[in-house]
Every structure is written in C-alpha cells, then in structure tokens.
A and B are shown apart, each in its own frame.
Chain A
C-alpha cells in the first residue's frame, strides 16, 4: 500500500517535472495549435459538412472526370519534374564532391541563391524568358533552329521547365550530402581489384548514393504535388494541378466543401508518401 502510494507520488512528481521542462515551449506550442492545427482541423470538418453532411464531396472528386484529370495531371507533372531534376542533380552532386572546395563553394552559392530567391520572381522570370517574344525563342530563331516561336509557356513544357528549376536545389543537397560521405578509397580498391569504371559506378557509387537519391526524389515529388504558384502562371488552362483546384474552388467559386475535400486528398497523399518513406528508409535528416 505504502509502496503503491510512493510509486504514484514519484510518478506524479515525474509528470510535474516533465511539465515544468515543457513550459518554455508552451507559447510556441499554443501558437501552432491555434494558428495551424485548429484551422486545418476546421477545414477538414467542412469537407464532410458542406453543403450536406456525408462523403458527397469526396465522391464527386473521385468520380467526376474533370477532377480525375486534375489528379492524373498532378501526378504526371510531379513524376516528370522528379525525373528531370534527378538527371541534372546527380552529375551536379558528383561534380561538387570531386572538385576543389573553392569551386564547390561557388556552385553552392549559386544553388543557395536560387533556392532563396522569391518563388514568384523565379516563375515570373521564366514567364518572360519563355514567351513567344522572349529571349529563348529569339535565341532559337537567331540560331535558325526554328522559324516561328516554339510555344514554351502556357503548356506542360513551361510548367516542367519552371518546376524543375525551383526543385533542383532540394535534390542536389541530399544527394551531395550522401555522396560526400563516401570513401574514395573504396572505389580505388575496386579498381585495383580489376573492376571497370562502369562496374564501379553501377555496383558501388550508385547503390551507396541511393539513400540520398531516394530522399531527394521523395522530397521533390511530394513538394511538386502541392505546388500552386508555378503551375498557375506557367501552365495552360488544361494543365491544372490539385493545389490550383483547391485555391480556385475556395477563392473563386466559394465552394468550401469541395475545395477542402480536394485539400485533404492532397494532404492525405502527401502524408502517406512521407510516412511510407520514413517506415521504409528511416528518417533522413535534411542538411
């Protein structure tokens, strides 16, 4: 009896101690709860209650071909952007590992600058560069590669060029972080043992870099799924992605029920991919 009370007392004091430890984080916790968790929760509820209680909103989103097209489109763009960023990022990361650090620092500075330049500004720049009278079409015509301007904007091409640009830093950094921890001696040993460069690449370098590659690809894919500004400005009317659908349904058509249901489909897909990744590979710390 006495022992039980004592145990309870130590448990209570332990809880009190933990409570006191947490106290300084309370303002930030309360803030995030009120400004972030609560509004998102209310939005979630609205997807089931407006205009009528039930799953009606979700039903129309997964049965109406207009909305299904948006979903397919979203996945298509995210996949295309992931592939194109990977093809660029792998050689860049490799370059950054082998060159003298002075050169690598300069390239890093460019990557960071691009990453921290306003999203809208970067998108606007591509809008101007890619338009019919823009610098890129002028250049192509000057080279004689084309006689009339190539439509590079207000279509899927524009969206993929712009999004690849924006996502590139997010995949170069994790691939570089993984590759820079590899020991060059490992590859030297393979070479001494008689392995050809091709074999070393496919059997050693690529597999060992895989954690960075997968982390970067997941990051780019998931971020691309939820992008709004870039597809809205560089894409055509038919290239709508799900984030645009959410924004337009709510801001333009005031259709809160359908809009919030679309938002939660997006959130669900995003979280599902993250959790699946964390389960499979473990938490990768962003660098």
Chain B
C-alpha cells in the first residue's frame, strides 16, 4: 500500500509538497540566471529595474570573453574525438574480452571518477609546469580527456552489451570479413551508445572547471576559467550572460541525447 498511489492515503500530499519544493529548488538557479542576464542593473538588483542585451554584447565582442568561448569549443571537440577513438576499442575489450583481471581493468578505467578532481588537477599542474605545457591547448585536452574517457567507455560499453554478437557472426558466415562485419553490422548498431558517449564527453569538457583552472594561463583560458577569474573580482552581469550560454549548451545536448533515446525505442 505504501507503494501504490491510490492506497497511500493523505500521506502522499506530503510527498507531493516536498517534491514540488525540491523541483523548485533544482530549477531556481537554472531559470534565474538566464533571466538575470537581461537585467539592466549593473549590480544585479532584484527585481530588475529594466532589461538589456548589453551583457551579451560584451560577451560576444570583448576579446577575452569571445576568445575563451572559442578555446572551450576547440578543446571540447578535440576531447570528444580523442575520447571516442580511445574508448571504442577499449569498450570492446571490456565487454567481449575473456582475460584475467577483467574486473581490475574495469575498475582502473573508472578510477578517474573516484579520485577527487582537485588531486588530479594539482598532479597534472606539477607535470604541466615541469614540461612547459601550462597554458597550452594540449594540456587542456589531456586533462579533460581523463574525466571524459570513463563516461565514453561506459556509454559505448553498455550499448555493446545489449548488442547480440550473433548478428556479427552471421554476417561473417554470410561471407563478410571481420572488418566488414564490424563496420557494417556492429558499429551501426551501437551508434546510439557512441553518440551518447560523444555528447557526454563534449559536455564534460565544455563544463570542466577545476582541471581547467590549473591548466590555464592568463593568455589561454576556457569559458569556465574566465568566469571563475572574473567572479573572484566582481559579480559582473557578463558572468550571467556567459553562464546562460553554458546552461544553453547543457539543455541542447541533453535534449539531443533524450531524442536519441526515444528514437531508439
């Protein structure tokens, strides 16, 4: 009776109320910031005295802001491509391989998700300083890739798990070579997993803050780093505009991934 809606009695209204409050709590920042980004007041007064596009204009014209957006885009594309290239063969091994220490290998590939990011960040910071990589695109890509790779492997791996290997074998029985079977039968079937992995790799890189702060120099920053640096001096409304851009990207990519899931069904 406690898990059946009709029989739960008035207690269910308590659940409704708490969930409603939680949904409001979860949505508040995501809705509030885009509204605030059109606020005419320099001091983010609330309610806003007027509306303006000035902060977006500043975001898209000021060299430092627009430059950081481009850096973020470049890094995210490079991370996505590298994550898929590394994760695809690794996922095949983890799902289909029969070897000693498979559980250990699985755990190893997931380990960057367990270690606190700040530790990975300072460790890489030490390396970057030593090898003169600080403030290079390369350093950003390498660091973001560490976090993106596990997601890509898990995403592709779970897709591969549900794919029946018999299809691949029957293609080979019908005369396809191993490579042909992989390219024309298996890969198209696990495409949703690959795309989902790519989307999340992109989003992880695009959103990464902690690693990026340690890899950045004043001359090369990604958008979250630029927000972080600006935040430390003031609460300029340009940050609200930049934040809205980041929120927009999350909404877009999650929307695409939801669409893919639906068409898959």
Instruction: State the A residues within 8 Å of B (CB).
Output: 18, 21-25, 27-29, 31-32, 35-36, 38-40, 42-43, 46, 88, 91-92, 94-100, 107, 109-114, 116-122, 124-129, 131, 133-135, 138, 165, 168, 179, 182, 184, 187-188, 191, 197, 200-201, 204-205, 225-229, 233, 243, 246-247, 250-251, 256, 259-260, 263-264, 266-267, 270-271, 274
Are A168 and B8 within 8 A (Cβ)? no
Measured in the bound complex, the distance between the Cα atoms of B16 and A182 in whole Å is 20
Is B194 among interface residues, defined by CB-CB distance under 8 A?
no
Is B160 among interface residues, defined by CB-CB distance under 8 A?
no
Closest beta carbon of chain B to A139's beta carbon, Å: 9
| A30 (CB) vs chain B CBs: closest residue | B86
Are A229 and B105 within 8 A (Cβ)? no
Measured in the bound complex, the distance between the Cα atoms of B130 and A39 in whole Å is 11
Are A135 and B32 within 8 A (Cβ)? yes
Contact with A along B100-115 (1 / 0, CB 8 A): 1000010011011011
Closest beta carbon of chain A to B139's beta carbon, Å: 10
Give the chain A neighbours of B145 by CB distance below 8 A.
31, 35
Are B116 and A121 within 8 A (Cβ)? no
4 pairs of A and B residues whose beta carbons are closest in the complex: A226-B116, A125-B29, A24-B89, A39-B123
Closest beta carbon of chain B to A158's beta carbon, Å: 13
Measured in the bound complex, the distance between the Cα atoms of B251 and A264 in whole Å is 36
Is B235 among interface residues, defined by CB-CB distance under 8 A?
yes
Most central of B1, B45, B105 by chain A CB within 10 Å:
B1
Most central of B18, B26, B46, B258 by chain A CB within 10 Å:
B26
Query: Which of A118, A228, A259 has a CB less than 8 Å from the CB of B207?
Result: A118
A/B interface sample: 26 pairs, CB < 8 A? A18-B99, A23-B93, A24-B90, A28-B109, A35-B142, A36-B111, A38-B127, A39-B123, A88-B22, A91-B14, A98-B3, A98-B12, A113-B26, A114-B26, A119-B209, A121-B243, A121-B247, A124-B239, A168-B26, A188-B4, A205-B2, A225-B116, A243-B118, A247-B118, A250-B122, A270-B115
Give the chain A neighbours of B114 by CB distance below 8 A.
270-271, 274
Query: Which of A126, A187, A266 has a CB less than 8 Å from the CB of B119?
Result: A266
Beyond A98-B8, A114-B30, whether A32 also contacts B93 by CB under 8 A is: no
Closest beta carbon of chain A to B43's beta carbon, Å: 7
Is B33 among interface residues, defined by CB-CB distance under 8 A?
yes
Beyond A43-B122, A138-B46, A274-B114, whether A228 also contacts B210 by CB under 8 A is: yes
Are B254 and A113 within 8 A (Cβ)? yes
A-B residue pair count with CB separations less than 8 angstroms: 256
Give the chain A neighbours of B1 by CB distance below 8 A.
184, 187-188, 191, 197, 200
Measured in the bound complex, the distance between the Cα atoms of B93 and A233 in whole Å is 42
Beyond A32-B109, A40-B120, whether A46 also contacts B97 by CB under 8 A is: no
Are B153 and A28 within 8 A (Cβ)? yes
Closest beta carbon of chain B to A234's beta carbon, Å: 11
Query: Which of A97, A117, A126 has a CB less than 8 Å from the CB of B250?
Result: A117
| B97 (CB) vs chain A CBs: closest residue | A21
Closest beta carbon of chain A to B194's beta carbon, Å: 15
Give the chain B neighbours of A184 by CB distance below 8 A.
1-4
Tell me the dominant secondary structure on chain B's binding face: helix
Beyond A133-B45, A247-B118, whether A36 also contacts B99 by CB under 8 A is: no
Closest beta carbon of chain A to B186's beta carbon, Å: 13
Is B175 among interface residues, defined by CB-CB distance under 8 A?
no
Is B181 among interface residues, defined by CB-CB distance under 8 A?
no
Measured in the bound complex, the distance between the Cα atoms of B4 and A188 in whole Å is 9
Measured in the bound complex, the distance between the Cα atoms of B258 and A201 in whole Å is 35
Are B119 and A43 within 8 A (Cβ)? yes
Are A251 and B125 within 8 A (Cβ)? yes
Is B188 among interface residues, defined by CB-CB distance under 8 A?
no
Give the chain B neighbours of A266 by CB distance below 8 A.
116, 118-119
Binds A, one of B52-60, B61-69, B165-173, B223-231: B223-231
Measured in the bound complex, the distance between the Cα atoms of B227 and A113 in whole Å is 20
Are B2 and A187 within 8 A (Cβ)? yes
Measured in the bound complex, the distance between the Cα atoms of B246 and A124 in whole Å is 12
Are A124 and B124 within 8 A (Cβ)? no
Most central of A22, A92, A125 by chain B CB within 10 Å:
A125
Beyond A28-B153, A118-B224, A246-B118, whether A95 also contacts B210 by CB under 8 A is: no
Measured in the bound complex, the distance between the Cα atoms of B17 and A195 in whole Å is 26
Are A124 and B243 within 8 A (Cβ)? yes
Query: Which of B9, B27, B118, B214 has a CB less than 8 Å from the CB of A110?
Result: B27
